[in-house]
Structure 1
Amino acid sequence: MEQLVEEFGHTTYTSFPVVVARLLLATLFGAVIGFEREWRNRPAGLRTHILVCVAAATFGILTIEIVHAPMFLKDTARFDPIRAVEAVTAGIAFLAAGTILFARGEVQGLTTGAGMWLAGAIGLAAGLGFWQIAGFGTFLVLIVLGLLHAVEVKFDLSEDKRDEKSAARKPAAKQKRG
Protein backbone atom coordinates (compact mmCIF):
# COMPACT_ATOMS: atom_id res chain seq x y z
CA MET A 1 0.00 0.00 0.00
CA GLU A 2 2.85 2.37 0.85
CA GLN A 3 4.33 1.78 -2.59
CA LEU A 4 1.03 2.77 -4.25
CA VAL A 5 0.85 5.96 -2.20
CA GLU A 6 4.42 6.75 -3.23
CA GLU A 7 3.68 6.01 -6.88
CA PHE A 8 0.42 7.93 -7.20
CA GLY A 9 0.78 10.41 -4.37
CA HIS A 10 3.70 12.48 -5.62
CA THR A 11 3.06 16.11 -6.30
CA THR A 12 3.16 17.67 -9.72
CA TYR A 13 5.07 20.74 -10.75
CA THR A 14 1.88 22.40 -11.96
CA SER A 15 -0.78 22.76 -9.27
CA PHE A 16 -3.97 20.83 -9.84
CA PRO A 17 -6.21 23.93 -10.07
CA VAL A 18 -3.93 25.27 -12.82
CA VAL A 19 -4.10 21.94 -14.66
CA VAL A 20 -7.90 22.01 -14.42
CA ALA A 21 -8.04 25.62 -15.65
CA ARG A 22 -5.77 24.87 -18.61
CA LEU A 23 -7.78 21.83 -19.67
CA LEU A 24 -11.08 23.70 -19.27
CA LEU A 25 -9.69 26.56 -21.34
CA ALA A 26 -8.66 24.13 -24.06
CA THR A 27 -12.15 22.61 -23.89
CA LEU A 28 -13.74 26.04 -24.31
CA PHE A 29 -11.51 27.06 -27.23
CA GLY A 30 -11.98 23.70 -28.95
CA ALA A 31 -15.74 24.02 -28.48
CA VAL A 32 -15.79 27.49 -30.03
CA ILE A 33 -13.97 26.26 -33.13
CA GLY A 34 -15.97 23.02 -33.27
CA PHE A 35 -19.27 24.87 -32.94
CA GLU A 36 -18.42 26.98 -35.98
CA ARG A 37 -17.65 23.81 -37.96
CA GLU A 38 -20.89 22.16 -36.79
CA TRP A 39 -22.83 25.27 -37.71
CA ARG A 40 -21.45 25.03 -41.25
CA ASN A 41 -22.20 21.29 -41.29
CA ARG A 42 -18.56 20.28 -41.84
CA PRO A 43 -17.09 16.80 -41.23
CA ALA A 44 -15.24 17.39 -37.95
CA GLY A 45 -17.34 19.35 -35.51
CA LEU A 46 -17.81 20.14 -31.85
CA ARG A 47 -16.66 16.94 -30.17
CA THR A 48 -13.75 16.36 -32.54
CA HIS A 49 -12.32 19.84 -32.05
CA ILE A 50 -12.77 19.65 -28.27
CA LEU A 51 -10.98 16.30 -28.15
CA VAL A 52 -8.12 17.53 -30.34
CA CYS A 53 -7.70 20.68 -28.28
CA VAL A 54 -7.86 18.89 -24.89
CA ALA A 55 -5.52 16.14 -26.08
CA ALA A 56 -2.95 18.70 -27.21
CA ALA A 57 -3.33 20.59 -23.91
CA THR A 58 -2.80 17.37 -21.99
CA PHE A 59 0.38 16.67 -23.96
CA GLY A 60 1.52 20.23 -23.19
CA ILE A 61 0.94 19.76 -19.47
CA LEU A 62 2.71 16.39 -19.57
CA THR A 63 5.68 18.04 -21.26
CA ILE A 64 5.98 20.51 -18.38
CA GLU A 65 5.64 17.71 -15.84
CA ILE A 66 8.27 15.54 -17.55
CA VAL A 67 10.76 18.40 -17.54
CA HIS A 68 10.30 18.80 -13.77
CA ALA A 69 9.69 15.17 -12.72
CA PRO A 70 12.29 13.90 -10.23
CA MET A 71 12.82 10.64 -12.13
CA PHE A 72 14.02 12.62 -15.16
CA LEU A 73 16.38 14.94 -13.31
CA LYS A 74 19.20 12.38 -13.39
CA ASP A 75 22.13 12.82 -15.75
CA THR A 76 21.15 9.65 -17.59
CA ALA A 77 17.81 11.09 -18.68
CA ARG A 78 18.02 13.29 -21.75
CA PHE A 79 14.97 14.91 -23.23
CA ASP A 80 13.93 17.71 -25.47
CA PRO A 81 10.53 19.27 -24.66
CA ILE A 82 10.16 20.41 -28.27
CA ARG A 83 9.77 16.76 -29.29
CA ALA A 84 6.37 16.72 -27.57
CA VAL A 85 5.28 19.67 -29.71
CA GLU A 86 6.53 17.89 -32.83
CA ALA A 87 4.71 14.68 -31.88
CA VAL A 88 1.43 16.49 -31.24
CA THR A 89 1.81 18.38 -34.52
CA ALA A 90 2.44 15.19 -36.49
CA GLY A 91 -0.34 13.24 -34.77
CA ILE A 92 -2.98 15.89 -35.33
CA ALA A 93 -1.82 16.46 -38.90
CA PHE A 94 -2.44 12.75 -39.49
CA LEU A 95 -6.00 13.04 -38.11
CA ALA A 96 -6.64 16.23 -40.06
CA ALA A 97 -5.46 14.60 -43.27
CA GLY A 98 -8.15 11.97 -42.77
CA THR A 99 -10.84 14.65 -43.11
CA ILE A 100 -9.60 15.69 -46.56
CA LEU A 101 -11.25 14.00 -49.52
CA PHE A 102 -10.50 14.20 -53.21
CA ALA A 103 -13.54 13.22 -55.20
CA ARG A 104 -14.69 14.06 -58.71
CA GLY A 105 -11.74 16.37 -59.22
CA GLU A 106 -12.49 18.49 -56.12
CA VAL A 107 -10.84 18.71 -52.72
CA GLN A 108 -13.19 18.74 -49.74
CA GLY A 109 -12.50 19.05 -46.02
CA LEU A 110 -9.27 20.99 -46.34
CA THR A 111 -10.47 23.85 -44.12
CA THR A 112 -11.73 21.40 -41.51
CA GLY A 113 -8.38 19.61 -41.52
CA ALA A 114 -6.53 22.89 -41.11
CA GLY A 115 -8.93 23.84 -38.31
CA MET A 116 -8.21 20.59 -36.47
CA TRP A 117 -4.48 21.16 -36.82
CA LEU A 118 -4.86 24.67 -35.45
CA ALA A 119 -7.10 23.41 -32.63
CA GLY A 120 -4.18 21.17 -31.66
CA ALA A 121 -1.82 24.14 -31.57
CA ILE A 122 -4.32 26.13 -29.50
CA GLY A 123 -4.71 23.20 -27.11
CA LEU A 124 -0.95 22.87 -26.80
CA ALA A 125 -0.68 26.59 -26.04
CA ALA A 126 -3.39 26.27 -23.36
CA GLY A 127 -1.71 23.20 -21.89
CA LEU A 128 1.65 24.90 -21.71
CA GLY A 129 0.05 27.90 -20.00
CA PHE A 130 0.22 30.35 -22.88
CA TRP A 131 -3.36 31.57 -22.37
CA GLN A 132 -2.93 34.71 -24.47
CA ILE A 133 -1.67 32.76 -27.47
CA ALA A 134 -4.48 30.22 -27.15
CA GLY A 135 -7.13 32.92 -26.81
CA PHE A 136 -5.89 35.09 -29.65
CA GLY A 137 -5.40 32.03 -31.86
CA THR A 138 -9.04 31.07 -31.25
CA PHE A 139 -10.12 34.62 -32.06
CA LEU A 140 -8.21 34.48 -35.35
CA VAL A 141 -9.79 31.12 -36.21
CA LEU A 142 -13.23 32.67 -35.81
CA ILE A 143 -12.23 35.60 -38.02
CA VAL A 144 -10.92 33.29 -40.74
CA LEU A 145 -13.82 30.82 -40.59
CA GLY A 146 -16.57 33.39 -40.07
CA LEU A 147 -15.70 36.75 -41.56
CA LEU A 148 -13.69 35.42 -44.48
CA HIS A 149 -16.44 32.91 -45.23
CA ALA A 150 -18.85 35.85 -45.62
CA VAL A 151 -16.38 37.49 -48.03
CA GLU A 152 -16.07 34.24 -50.02
CA VAL A 153 -19.85 33.96 -50.28
CA LYS A 154 -20.15 37.58 -51.40
CA PHE A 155 -17.61 37.07 -54.19
CA ASP A 156 -18.89 33.57 -55.04
CA LEU A 157 -15.66 31.90 -53.87
CA SER A 158 -17.16 29.83 -51.06
CA GLU A 159 -16.80 26.06 -50.86
CA ASP A 160 -20.50 26.02 -49.98
CA LYS A 161 -21.41 27.67 -53.28
CA ARG A 162 -19.16 25.29 -55.21
CA ASP A 163 -20.78 22.33 -53.41
CA GLU A 164 -24.24 23.62 -54.35
CA LYS A 165 -23.20 24.14 -57.99
CA SER A 166 -21.71 20.62 -58.17
CA ALA A 167 -24.90 19.13 -56.75
CA ALA A 168 -27.01 21.08 -59.23
CA ARG A 169 -24.92 19.76 -62.16
CA LYS A 170 -25.37 16.09 -61.19
CA PRO A 171 -27.95 14.36 -63.34
CA ALA A 172 -31.10 13.32 -61.51
CA ALA A 173 -31.21 9.64 -60.68
CA LYS A 174 -33.46 7.58 -62.90
CA GLN A 175 -36.59 6.50 -61.12
CA LYS A 176 -37.46 2.84 -61.06
CA ARG A 177 -40.81 1.84 -62.42
CA GLY A 178 -42.78 -0.51 -60.23
Structure 2
Amino acid sequence: MIALNSLFELQIPGFIYKILAACLAGLLIGLEREYKGKSAGLKTNTIVAMGASIFVMISLHFENQFGVDITRVLGQVVVGVGFLGAGVIVQRENKIQGLTTAATIWCSAAAGCLAANAFYVELTLATFLIVAVNLIFGWIETSGIKN
Protein backbone atom coordinates (compact mmCIF):
# COMPACT_ATOMS: atom_id res chain seq x y z
CA MET A 1 0.00 0.00 0.00
CA ILE A 2 2.90 2.36 0.69
CA ALA A 3 4.19 1.92 -2.88
CA LEU A 4 0.73 2.74 -4.25
CA ASN A 5 0.52 5.90 -2.15
CA SER A 6 3.99 6.97 -3.30
CA LEU A 7 3.05 6.40 -6.93
CA PHE A 8 -0.18 8.33 -6.44
CA GLU A 9 1.69 11.26 -4.87
CA LEU A 10 4.17 11.33 -7.74
CA GLN A 11 1.44 11.38 -10.39
CA ILE A 12 -0.82 14.05 -8.88
CA PRO A 13 1.58 17.03 -9.26
CA GLY A 14 2.21 16.11 -12.92
CA PHE A 15 -1.52 15.82 -13.53
CA ILE A 16 -2.14 19.19 -11.89
CA TYR A 17 0.55 20.96 -13.96
CA LYS A 18 -0.72 19.45 -17.19
CA ILE A 19 -4.41 20.09 -16.56
CA LEU A 20 -3.72 23.67 -15.42
CA ALA A 21 -1.59 24.30 -18.51
CA ALA A 22 -4.40 22.96 -20.72
CA CYS A 23 -6.93 25.05 -18.80
CA LEU A 24 -4.88 28.24 -19.18
CA ALA A 25 -4.29 27.68 -22.90
CA GLY A 26 -7.99 26.96 -23.52
CA LEU A 27 -8.94 29.97 -21.44
CA LEU A 28 -6.68 32.31 -23.43
CA ILE A 29 -7.87 30.90 -26.75
CA GLY A 30 -11.51 31.06 -25.64
CA LEU A 31 -11.15 34.58 -24.31
CA GLU A 32 -10.62 35.90 -27.83
CA ARG A 33 -13.70 34.02 -29.08
CA GLU A 34 -15.73 35.26 -26.10
CA TYR A 35 -14.61 38.84 -26.70
CA LYS A 36 -15.89 38.57 -30.28
CA GLY A 37 -19.21 37.14 -29.09
CA LYS A 38 -18.83 33.78 -30.83
CA SER A 39 -21.03 30.81 -29.96
CA ALA A 40 -18.16 28.68 -28.63
CA GLY A 41 -16.11 30.92 -26.37
CA LEU A 42 -14.39 30.82 -23.05
CA LYS A 43 -15.98 27.76 -21.45
CA THR A 44 -16.07 25.64 -24.59
CA ASN A 45 -12.43 26.16 -25.54
CA THR A 46 -11.25 25.70 -21.96
CA ILE A 47 -13.18 22.48 -21.46
CA VAL A 48 -12.12 21.11 -24.86
CA ALA A 49 -8.45 21.72 -24.03
CA MET A 50 -8.83 20.13 -20.61
CA GLY A 51 -10.78 17.15 -21.95
CA ALA A 52 -8.23 16.46 -24.68
CA SER A 53 -5.48 16.67 -22.08
CA ILE A 54 -7.24 14.20 -19.79
CA PHE A 55 -7.82 11.67 -22.58
CA VAL A 56 -4.18 11.85 -23.65
CA MET A 57 -2.94 11.53 -20.07
CA ILE A 58 -5.08 8.42 -19.65
CA SER A 59 -3.59 6.93 -22.81
CA LEU A 60 -0.06 7.75 -21.62
CA HIS A 61 -0.75 5.61 -18.58
CA PHE A 62 -0.77 2.56 -20.89
CA GLU A 63 2.47 3.46 -22.65
CA ASN A 64 4.90 0.55 -23.18
CA GLN A 65 2.25 -2.10 -22.63
CA PHE A 66 2.14 -4.92 -25.16
CA GLY A 67 -0.36 -4.41 -27.96
CA VAL A 68 -1.23 -0.84 -26.95
CA ASP A 69 -0.94 2.05 -29.39
CA ILE A 70 -1.31 5.21 -27.34
CA THR A 71 -1.32 7.38 -30.47
CA ARG A 72 -4.81 6.12 -31.31
CA VAL A 73 -6.23 8.40 -28.62
CA LEU A 74 -4.71 11.43 -30.36
CA GLY A 75 -6.46 10.41 -33.57
CA GLN A 76 -9.75 9.95 -31.75
CA VAL A 77 -9.43 13.38 -30.12
CA VAL A 78 -8.95 14.92 -33.57
CA VAL A 79 -12.01 13.15 -34.98
CA GLY A 80 -14.19 13.67 -31.91
CA VAL A 81 -13.47 17.37 -31.67
CA GLY A 82 -14.14 17.63 -35.39
CA PHE A 83 -17.72 16.58 -34.69
CA LEU A 84 -17.96 19.15 -31.91
CA GLY A 85 -16.65 21.83 -34.24
CA ALA A 86 -19.19 20.85 -36.89
CA GLY A 87 -21.90 21.84 -34.44
CA VAL A 88 -20.88 25.50 -34.55
CA ILE A 89 -20.85 25.75 -38.35
CA VAL A 90 -24.08 27.13 -39.79
CA GLN A 91 -25.20 28.29 -43.22
CA ARG A 92 -27.34 31.41 -43.45
CA GLU A 93 -28.56 32.23 -46.92
CA ASN A 94 -25.41 32.00 -49.06
CA LYS A 95 -22.94 32.56 -46.22
CA ILE A 96 -21.26 29.95 -44.03
CA GLN A 97 -20.47 31.01 -40.46
CA GLY A 98 -18.57 29.39 -37.65
CA LEU A 99 -15.62 27.90 -39.55
CA THR A 100 -13.05 29.91 -37.58
CA THR A 101 -14.73 29.05 -34.30
CA ALA A 102 -14.73 25.35 -35.28
CA ALA A 103 -11.06 25.52 -36.22
CA THR A 104 -10.32 27.29 -32.95
CA ILE A 105 -12.04 24.51 -30.99
CA TRP A 106 -9.89 22.03 -32.87
CA CYS A 107 -6.77 24.03 -31.96
CA SER A 108 -7.86 24.09 -28.31
CA ALA A 109 -7.91 20.29 -28.38
CA ALA A 110 -4.42 20.31 -29.88
CA ALA A 111 -3.31 22.62 -27.08
CA GLY A 112 -4.69 20.14 -24.55
CA CYS A 113 -2.73 17.35 -26.23
CA LEU A 114 0.46 19.42 -25.98
CA ALA A 115 -0.20 20.05 -22.30
CA ALA A 116 -0.78 16.35 -21.63
CA ASN A 117 2.65 15.59 -23.04
CA ALA A 118 4.24 18.41 -20.98
CA PHE A 119 5.29 20.29 -24.12
CA TYR A 120 4.97 23.60 -22.30
CA VAL A 121 7.15 25.72 -24.60
CA GLU A 122 5.31 24.43 -27.66
CA LEU A 123 1.99 24.96 -25.88
CA THR A 124 2.87 28.56 -25.08
CA LEU A 125 3.93 29.26 -28.66
CA ALA A 126 0.87 27.53 -30.14
CA THR A 127 -1.53 29.37 -27.81
CA PHE A 128 0.06 32.72 -28.65
CA LEU A 129 -0.10 32.02 -32.40
CA ILE A 130 -3.71 30.80 -32.32
CA VAL A 131 -4.85 33.91 -30.46
CA ALA A 132 -2.70 36.18 -32.65
CA VAL A 133 -4.03 34.68 -35.90
CA ASN A 134 -7.63 35.06 -34.71
CA LEU A 135 -7.05 38.65 -33.61
CA ILE A 136 -4.99 39.84 -36.58
CA PHE A 137 -7.01 38.17 -39.31
CA GLY A 138 -10.26 39.09 -37.56
CA TRP A 139 -9.14 42.69 -37.63
CA ILE A 140 -8.25 42.41 -41.32
CA GLU A 141 -11.69 40.96 -42.10
CA THR A 142 -13.59 43.66 -40.23
CA SER A 143 -11.47 46.55 -41.48
CA GLY A 144 -12.14 45.74 -45.12
CA ILE A 145 -8.49 45.24 -46.05
CA LYS A 146 -9.16 41.87 -47.67
CA ASN A 147 -9.81 41.83 -51.43
TM-score by length of 1: 0.75
* Pairing partner for 1:94 from 49, 73, 83: 83
Q: Which residue of 1 aligns with 2:62?
A: 66
Aligned counterpart, 2:20 = 24
Residue in 1 that maps onto 2:132? 143
Greater per-residue helix proportion: 2
Give ranges in structure 1 of 5+ residues lacking alignment. 158-178
The answer (yes or no) to whether the contact 1:60–1:125 under 8 Å persists in 2 is no
User: 2:60 is matched by which residue type in structure 1?
Assistant: I
Q: Secondary structure at the match of 1:99?
A: coil
Q: CA RMSD in A?
A: 2.2
Name 1:45's counterpart in structure 2.
41
Q: TM-score, normalised by structure 2?
A: 0.89
| CA displacement, residues 72-115 of structure 1 (integer Å, 9 cap, x when unaligned) | x4xxx411111010011111111001110112111011100000
Q: 1:9 offset after TM fit, Å?
A: 5.6
Q: What is the DSSP-based 3-state SS (H/G/I as helix, E as strand, rest coil) of the residue aligned with 2:88?
A: coil
How many angstroms apart in 2 are the aligned matches of 1:102 and 1:149? 19
Number of positions where the alignment pairs a residue of Structure 1 with one of Structure 2: 145
Identity %: 29
